Amino acid sequence: MADERGAELLRGGGGSHRATFLELFLDVVFVFAFTRVSQRLIDDVTAGGGRLPLELTQTLVLLLALWMVWSLTAWATSHYDPERPPIQAVMVGSMFGSLVMAVSVPAAYGPHGLSFAAGYVAIQLGRSIYLTVALRRHSQRHLSGRILVWSGVSAVFWLGGGLVGDDARLLCWAVALVIDYVGVVIGWPVPRLGRAAATAWTVTGEHLAERYQQFTIIALGEMIFVAGVGFSGSDFTLLRWIALVDAFATTVLLWRIYFHRAGSVLAEAVAQARQPARLGQSATWTHLTMIAGIVTTAVGYEVAISEPGGHADVVRVAAIVGGPALFVVGRSRFEYEVFGRVSLSRLVGLLLLVLGVPLLSRLPLIGMAVGVTAVLTGMAVADALRARGRPPERPASPM
């Protein structure tokens, strides 16, 4: 009887595999969280100074923590039935914990460090404890039990980091993140139970793919939000209008490049894969790379809007050119995961972005941004020409 009650929490063969409204509600919190991360990056870039590399590393740690929360929640709702009240309770708890983390981001390395860490730990430990108890004696409880052990170890560093000074806090949180991410990669091994193989996660391909697609849209929407806020708070000069149009065009191009075939057939690729969970796990890292690229691009274009005729220093080049380049790297890997190959346009575009840095860095910020947009436009046009007159390519994942 206890096994049957625990099995009720798992996704069955029936029912909708689409994302629920509560999951979309959770994403709203992450829209806010992303704006906080972007604002931190903008402050870092505009302030400059000798501590810039350290401050950028601090912000990266916060982004990785938020991604860990979202990705594990997405995997949980793909493995468990999000229509069940216990799973909905997990999602509501994750939603509030994510909100606590988001509001703490601006001063996470100051007075709000403990609240950021407490929000993260509450989500990770709370989810695992709740599921371990709710699953009763079902065999799947060992999966949440493994995660609970690893989350308990990392919690020591998260909470300890929230109680110490800024530099020591970064070290503690970096160690905690390494523990959490290594646990995901190697399957959270614990004594006697061993590790959980990727096949232990029975994921719903359509649902998991839709969650990745939605999060990518969130990141792109946040890019428009950052550009719009930056523009509305400045004088409406001609150069700033050009920068705003260019930022919008870049956002549309990133959307187009992501969804052109690979992004649109991800659900089918996961469903057809011999090991769907393995493909889903690999897609987690590629989407993390693309999301980081989009967030960085948003920062670069906000700076270009506020200072269109500004000087292109190393940090601004890294944001305006490096962000799209990072996105293309992730998108290239994503294409391989879905089709087993990488388009020539991806490689040529990435090469142009990298080799074009010496030339682009000589231009004002608006010129650099337009140059990057031109490369992305060429990539999107090449995709359209390659697909013209041909039947839609079907996924052929090597995984």
pLDDT for 1: 46
Residuewise pLDDT in 10s, the chain (399 residues): 445 556 678 776 555 677 888 998 999 999 899 999 999 999 888 877 777 888 999 999 999 999 999 999 998 898 888 888 989 999 999 999 999 999 999 999 999 999 999 999 999 999 999 998 888 777 677 788 999 999 999 999 999 999 998 789 999 999 999 999 999 999 999 998 788 765 566 777 788 889 999 999 999 999 999 999 999 988 999 999 999 999 999 999 999 999 998 999 998 998 888 888 888 889 999 999 999 999 999 999 999 999 999 988 899 999 999 999 999 999 999 999 999 999 999 999 999 999 999 999 999 999 999 999 999 999 999 999 998 888 888 999 997
List the structure tokens of 102: 């988001």
Q: What is the separation, in whole angstroms, between the first and last Cα of the chain?
A: 37
What pLDDT is attached to residue 193? 79
What is the rounded distance in angstroms from the CA atom of residue 130 to the CA atom of residue 110? 31
All structural domains of the chain, each given as residue ranges with its CATH number in brackets, are 2-200 (no CATH), 205-387 (1.20.1410)
Residue 392: per-residue pLDDT: 86
Closest to 256 in 3D by CA, of 162, 171, 328, 183: 328
Please tell me the distance from the alpha carbon of residue 100 to that of residue 32, in angstroms, as a whole number: 11
SS3 sequence, the chain?
A: CHHHHHHCCECCCCCCCCCCHHHHHHHHHHHHHHHHHHHHHHHHHHHCCCCHHHHHHHHHHHHHHHHHHHHHHHHHHHHECCCCHHHHHHHHHHHHHHHHHHHHHHHCCCCCHHHHHHHHHHHHHHHHHHHHHHCCCCCCHHHHHHHHHHHHHHHHHHHHHHCCCHHHHHHHHHHHHHHHHHHHHHCCCECCCECCCHHHCCCCHHHHHHHHHHHHHHHHHHHHHHHHHHHHCCCCCHHHHHHHHHHHHHHHHHHHHHHHHHHCCHHHHHHHCCCHHHHHHHHHHHHHHHHHHHHHHHHHHHHHHHCCCCCCCHHHHHHHCHHHHHHHHHHHHHHHHHHCCCCHHHHHHHHHHHHCHHHHCCCCHHHHHHHHHHHHHHHHHHHHHHHCCCCCCCCCCCC
Q: Which of 302, 279, 249, 392 is nearest to 38 (CA)?
A: 302
Q: Which residue has the tokens 């270009």?
A: 304
- Which pLDDT value is given to residue 2? 46
pLDDT of residue 184: 92
Residue 345, number of CB atoms within 10 A of its CB: 19
For 133, the token pair is: 């108890």
Distance CA 167, CA 103 (A): 21
Gyration radius from the chain CA atoms: 22
Q: What is the pTM of this model?
A: 0.92
